[in-house]
Amino acid sequence: MSNTDRIIENVNATMRMEGMPLLDKDKERIKDCIEGKISFQDAIDLLVNKYMHKKVI
């Protein structure tokens, strides 16, 4: 098992204990961050923009 896989499985185990196991796309996002394909900040920004509710005026 690679170091990246070990990190992802540790995160998944922790999230599973809280009742929120990682989806495959979550695991892929973490892998992309660890491997430097996308920065952690960019991944966070994409998630915030995806789930942020825009106020209607």
pLDDT in tens, 1-55: 899 999 999 999 999 999 999 999 999 999 999 999 999 999 999 999 988 877 7
CA 48 from chain centre, in angstroms, equals: 12
The first and second tokens of residue 42, run together, are 């960019």
Output the 3-class SS for the chain. Answer: CCHHHHHHHHHHHHHHHCCCCCCHHHHHHHHHHHCCCCCHHHHHHHHHHHHCCCCCC
pLDDT of amino acid 11: 97
Look up the pTM and report it: 0.79
